[in-house]
């Protein structure tokens, strides 16, 4: 797999996009499973976006969609609602749905009403 994390600037505004693809041009079974889970989450978020929708709700939708896809492929087992409560999705999506973007590629800011739980092994010290 090749992961491309790219950015550009135009008139002092930054942009950022990340994509991945199989180097040999064809996904193997495991790669296809992960790619399709992310694509399904992407499509779910796009289809639910509209004025007034909260970013946090879109983040949760993406996490839930990925967890459901992984459960359907028998990669994880259990109750999706329990996984969401325990923030298991943060293990698979530690970066979140995205980040603020503007004059700097990673503009400062955050979402203080969201409590983030990440397994200690994924925490940076």
Query: What are the DSSP calls for 82-113, one per residue?
Result: HHHHTTTHHHH-TT-S----SSSTT-S---TT
At CA 81, angle to CA 79 and CA 82, rounded to 5?
65
Domain of 110, in residue numbers: 2-123
Supply the pLDDT for residue 96: 79
Supply the pLDDT for residue 123: 35
DSSP letters, 27-85, are --HHHHHHHHHHHHHHHHHHHH--TT--HHHHHHHHHHHHHHHHHHTTSS-S-HHHHHH
Supply the pLDDT for residue 11: 83
Supply the pLDDT for residue 17: 81
Task: Give the number of domains in the chain.
Answer: 1
CATH value at residue 35: 3.90.230.10
pLDDT tens sequence for the chain (125 residues) = 998 888 888 887 777 788 888 999 999 999 999 999 999 999 999 999 998 888 889 999 999 999 999 999 999 999 999 999 999 998 888 777 876 666 666 656 555 554 444 433 333 33
- CA pair distance 58, 46, nearest whole angstrom: 9
Tokens 């503007």 correspond to what residue?
A: 102
Supply the pLDDT for residue 113: 53
The structure's pTM equals 0.75
């Amino acid at each position: 797999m090749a992961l491309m994390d790219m950015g550009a600037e135009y008139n002092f505004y930054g942009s950022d996009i990340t994509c991945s693809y199989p180097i040999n041009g064809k996904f193997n079974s495991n790669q296809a499973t992960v790619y399709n889970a992310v694509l399904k989450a992407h499509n779910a978020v796009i289809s639910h976006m509209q004025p007034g929708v909260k970013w946090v709700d879109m983040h949760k939708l993406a996490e839930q969609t990925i967890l459901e896809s992984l459960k359907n492929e028998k990669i994880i087992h259990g109750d999706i609602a329990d996984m969401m409560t325990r923030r298991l999705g943060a293990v698979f999506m530690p970066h979140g749905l995205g980040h603020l973007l503007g004059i700097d590629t990673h503009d400062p800011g955050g979402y203080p009403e969201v409590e983030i739980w990440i397994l200690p092994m994924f925490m940076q010290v």
